[in-house]
Amino acid sequence: MKNLILTSGFLAALVLPTLAGANEMPPPGGEPKDFSLAEPVRFELDNGLSATLLEFGTAPKATIYVSLAAGAVNEGEATWLSSLTGDMLKEGTENYTALELAETAGAMGGGLSVGSGDESTTVYIDVLSEHAADAVKLVAEVLQRPTFPASELDRIKRDYLRSLAVNKQQPQALASQAYSKLLYGDHPFAGEWPTEAQLAAYTIEDVRDFYEGNFGAQRARIYVAGVFDQARVKAAITEAFGGWARGPQRVIDIPADPAAPGVALVDRPGAPQATIRLGLKTIDPSDPAWTKLVFTNTLLGGFFSSRVTENIREDKGYTYSPRSSLASHYRDGYWTQSADVSIEHTGDSLREIYGEIYRLRNEAPGADEIERVRNFMTGSFIRSNASRLGILGLIAFIDYHGLPREYLTEYASRVGAITAEDVRMTTEKYLVPEDMSLAVVGDLSQVRPQLETLPQLEGRLPD
């Protein structure tokens, strides 16, 4: 069997981080081991559905995962209709009632799980190995032959209303929504919430229309990972999905960058904390500089030993869990620093965050720091790919963004090649403080005067 080598011996050169004041230095450990993975088996059906099979692990389990290119991006004004359609998939098919679907899935060792995102709907089930081929057929049934029984619609809509009520009370949800709106305006990625009236008005015909307009073989990719009989699973995929119509082509709607950065303030009188989202649109994973940006984000605010975290958590104590992150859509990406800070330190926190960005733009980090981030990223890569769903998620990510296969096999060497000056230049190029949008949720009577002292926000605060 062919193997892919994900990480290998060059890591041996890496040194341990220095410890201040240690009397005895930690032992460095042994020689690093290759992370080798079976070569995935890939094939495509005549109707355009693509399949990837990956032998992985030792537990007698298999994960079946379908990613289908339909989500919020296809909704138009009909917010949450893609989710509603996804949830209705499990409410019955031509050959199974909802209860029979749940019982059949349970008898294989799993539960059918349907998720809806900005660009895709995912169907996922995790079963005992002996049921892998049957689980493929069950997933095919749900995707191809849903009946959308009207009797179940009201209950799901009530669940959504409950979720909506909870979201509206959560400062993090409010902040993320306000922030998304600044970056994406009227594009569906702004992730607006529906009104209650809008939710109530959705009909089973709306659901059916969304399904007909967006579901079909050429938009689907199926992945199977774990311990399973490859020949049987391949035959099951071919048989169960081979008759599916090609369906509509995938819709690509890449959002424009905002014309100017914005500021959104959401008032929660009496709130003891301010919830901050600061960031901007950046490059996406298909850009050759993406891994450098991931590295830069990690060093700046992406892990516990990062600069922003050390500063506003460890040193100043303004916040418990600040975090910066990168997120992406197809040919679209953005960077965000998030934090829930003590309300009286809202301005201080932002001043420090901006300050850390300026510092990294002006001065390349030291060798120790680069080393620490490099080790962290390589280790995270191995850890996150040490499970069926983890490795499937990464392969699906590579497929989704159309990345070269080397993205997987050369990840570690790509990270290893990044220099301190790369990080400085990446910050200078992509993390421009003056271009960043800001959303703050908190008691505005306290927040606003603090924001008024920040030069970056001068003349930009809303009334």
Partner 1 sequence: MKHFKPCLALAAAGLVAGCAQTPAPPPETEAAAPSAPGATFTVPVVYETLDNGLKVVLSPDDTAPVATVAVYYHIGFRNEPKDRTGFAHLFEHMMFQGSENLGKMEFIKLVQGLGGSLNGSTRFDFTNYFQTVPAHRVETVLWAEADRMRSLQVTQDNLTNPQGVVKNEVKVNVLNQPYVDTGATLAMVNKYFGNIASPAARPAQPDISEPRQEVEKRFTRVDPLAPRPGLAWAYHVPPRGTPEHYAMVLLASILADGEDSLLHQKLVKEKGYAGGVGAAINMLGNPFNYEGPMLWVGYLIHDPSHSADTIMADVDAVIDGLRSTPVDAETLDRALVKFRSGFYDTLASGFGRADLLASYALFDDNPAGINNIEAGIRAVTPELILQTAREYLRPGNRTVLVLEAGAGQPAATMSQQPGQ
Smallest distance, Å, CB 48 to partner 1?
27
DSSP letters for 19-79: -TT-SSPPP--S----EEEEPPEEEE-TTS-EEEEEE--SSSEEEEEEEES-SGGG-TT-T
In the complex with partner 1, the residue whose CB is nearer, 212 or 314, is: 314
Burial 54-71 (b: 16+ CB within 10 A, else e): bbbbeeebbbbbbbbbbb
CB atoms within 10 A of CB 125: 24
149 belongs to the binding site for partner 1 (CB under 8 A): no
Contacts with partner 1 in 206-225 (CB under 8 A)? none
Q: Which stretch binds partner 1 (CB under 8 A): 205-213, 298-306, 353-361, 422-430?
A: 298-306
**Choices 233-241, 255-263, 338-346, 348-356 (CB under 8 A): range interacting with partner 1:** 255-263
Our CB check for partner 1 shows the closer of 93 and 180 to be: 180
Q: Is the dihedral of CA 226, 232, 234, 240 positive or negative?
A: negative
30, 94, 288, 434: which one contacts partner 1 (CB under 8 A)?
Answer: 30
232 binds partner 1 (CB under 8 A): no
Is residue 99 within the footprint of partner 1 (CB under 8 A)? yes
11 lies in the site for partner 1, by CB under 8 A: yes
Among 69, 78, 96, 118, binds partner 1 (CB under 8 A): 118
Q: Which residue in 152, 214, 208 sits closest to 188, CA to CA?
A: 214
Binding residue count for partner 1, defined by CB under 8 A: 122
Identity of residue 254: I
Q: Is 136 in the site for partner 1 (CB under 8 A)?
A: no
Q: Per-residue string for binding with partner 1, 313-342, x by CB under 8 A?
A: -x------------x------x--------
Evaluate whether 210 touches 74 at the Cβ level (below 8 Å): yes
CB 20 → partner 1: shortest distance, Å? 5
- The H or E element spanning position 55 is strand 50-55
Query: Rounded to whole angstroms, how far apart are CA atoms 157 and 390?
Result: 32
Dump strand ranges (E) for 408-456.
437-442
- Say if CB 364 and CB 424 are below 8 A apart: yes
Question: What count of residues does the chain have?
Answer: 463
Q: Which of 44, 76, 168, 253 binds partner 1 (CB under 8 A)?
A: 168
- Which of 153-161, 200-208, 351-359, 419-427 is the region at the interface with partner 1 (rule: CB under 8 A)? 153-161
**Which neighbouring-strand residues pair with 226?**
55, 62
**Smallest distance from partner 1 to CB 63, Å:** 10
